[in-house]
C-alpha cells in the first residue's frame, strides 16, 4: 500500500483564497496585531510568514516587536492597549516568551474575543463545553485537512499523541465533538505502538522525530503529523517515520507541507471570525 499524500500547502492556499474573497466583500479590513518579544529565530520567521499571509488576504496587519528585556508589566500594558483598540479584531501573542514573563499571565490578559490563537482559558472552556469560540489554529487546521481529504471522522477510532494545551488537548476535544472515539496518549502511556495500531486516525504531536514507526500504523489508517523537528543536517522532519508509515497508511501528511501551512490559514480564519462577531457583521 502506498499512502495518498494530503497536501496541506494546496488546501491552505484554497482556504486563504476563500478568505480573501470574503474580506473583499466587507466594508472594513479585519485588524490583526502580532506581538513578538525578543528575537527568537523561529519566531521571527513564523511571524514574518503570518504577517505576509494576513496582508495577502486583505487584513490590516502589523507586528509589534518588543525588546528581549521587556518586563511582564510592559507587555501587559501593550496587550491592554490592543484590547481597547476598536481597530484590532485579533491579537496573536507569539510564543515562547522570555524567561522574565509568565506566559499564563500574558495569555490571561488577552481579550478572549480577540484571542485568535484560542489559548485563553475562556476559549479553552468553550471548546471543552462544545460551545462556539476561538479554537487553537493547529488543531483547527487538522480538522480542515481531514475534511478536505474526505476522511470519515464520525465513529472512527482516533488517537492523539501528545497532551499539550496548544495542540493535543484541543485536538482531542475537536475530534470528540466530531463524534470520533478518542484516545489521548502521552509520555506515560503504555505500549503506544499497540494503541496506534487500533486507530483509524493517528495524530502525532509530541515533538519527537520519527517516534511513530511504520508498523505502528494500521493498514489504511490516516496519519496526521503535527511534529516539526530540525535534524542535525538542518532538515525538517516530523514525529512520524514518513517512508515507513506511507507504506501502511491510506493517507498521510508530509513535513514540511502538511499541517504547518494550515496553522497560518486558520489563524486568518479565526481573525475573520473574530472580526465578524465583534462588529456584528
DSSP-assigned states of every residue in 148-208? HTT---TT-EEEEE---TTTHHHHHHHHHHTT-EEEEE-TT-S-HHHHHHT-SEEEE-S--
Q: CA of 114: how far to CAs of 104, 131, 180, 181, in Å?
A: 16, 17, 29, 31
Active-site residue 111, yes or no?
A: no
What was the pLDDT predicted at 1? 62
Q: How confident is the model at residue 3 (pLDDT cuts 50, 70, 90)?
A: very high
The model's pTM: 0.95
User: Could you read off the pLDDT of 158-197 as tens digits, one per residue?
Assistant: 999 999 999 999 999 999 999 999 999 998 999 999 999 9
Question: Which of the following is catalytic: 51, 89, 94, 115?
Answer: 94
Active-site residue 94, yes or no?
A: yes
Question: Which of the following is catalytic: 51, 111, 115, 117?
Answer: 117
Q: CA of 272: how far to CAs of 12, 60, 136, 217, 275, in Å?
A: 15, 11, 14, 37, 5
Active-site residue 179, yes or no?
A: no
Over residues 43-69, the mean pLDDT reads 94
What was the pLDDT predicted at 267? 97
Judge whether residue 281 has pLDDT over 90: no
In terms of Cα–Cα distance, which of 84, 80, 89 is closest to 54?
89
Q: How far apart are CA 28 and CA 9, in angstroms?
A: 28
What was the pLDDT predicted at 2? 86
Amino acid at each position: 500500500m502506498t499512502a495518498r499524500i494530503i497536501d496541506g500547502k494546496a488546501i491552505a492556499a484554497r482556504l486563504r483564497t476563500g478568505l480573501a474573497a470574503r474580506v473583499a466583500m466587507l466594508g472594513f479590513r479585519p485588524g490583526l496585531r502580532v506581538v513578538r518579544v525578543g528575537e527568537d529565530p523561529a519566531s521571527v520567521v513564523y511571524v514574518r510568514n503570518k504577517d505576509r499571509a494576513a496582508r495577502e488576504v486583505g487584513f490590516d496587519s502589523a507586528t509589534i516587536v518588543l525588546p528581549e528585556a521587556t518586563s511582564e508589566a510592559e507587555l501587559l500594558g501593550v496587550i491592554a492597549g490592543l484590547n481597547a483598540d476598536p481597530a484590532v479584531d485579533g491579537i496573536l501573542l507569539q510564543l515562547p516568551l522570555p524567561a522574565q514573563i509568565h506566559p499564563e499571565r500574558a495569555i490571561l490578559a488577552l481579550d478572549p474575543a480577540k484571542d485568535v490563537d484560542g489559548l485563553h482559558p475562556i476559549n479553552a472552556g468553550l471548546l471543552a463545553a462544545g460551545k462556539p469560540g476561538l479554537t487553537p489554529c493547529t488543531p483547527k487546521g487538522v480538522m480542515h485537512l481531514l475534511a478536505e481529504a474526505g476522511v470519515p471522522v464520525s465513529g472512527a477510532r482516533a488517537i492523539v499523541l501528545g497532551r499539550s494545551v496548544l495542540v493535543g488537548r484541543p485536538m482531542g476535544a475537536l475530534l470528540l465533538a466530531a463524534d470520533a472515539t478518542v484516545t489521548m496518549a502521552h509520555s506515560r502511556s503504555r505500549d503506544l505502538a499497540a494503541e496506534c495500531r487500533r486507530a483509524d486516525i493517528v495524530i502525532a504531536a509530541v515533538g519527537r522525530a520519527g517516534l511513530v514507526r511504520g508498523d505502528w500504523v494500521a493498514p489504511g489508517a490516516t496519519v496526521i503529523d503535527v511534529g516539526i523537528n530540525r535534524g542535525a543536517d538542518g532538515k525538517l522532519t516530523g514525529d512520524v517515520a514518513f517512508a515507513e508509515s506511507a507504506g501502511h497508511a491510506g493517507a498521510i501528511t508530509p513535513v514540511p507541507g502538511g499541517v504547518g501551512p494550515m496553522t497560518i490559514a486558520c489563524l486568518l480564519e479565526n481573525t475573520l471570525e473574530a472580526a465578524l462577531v465583534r462588529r456584528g457583521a
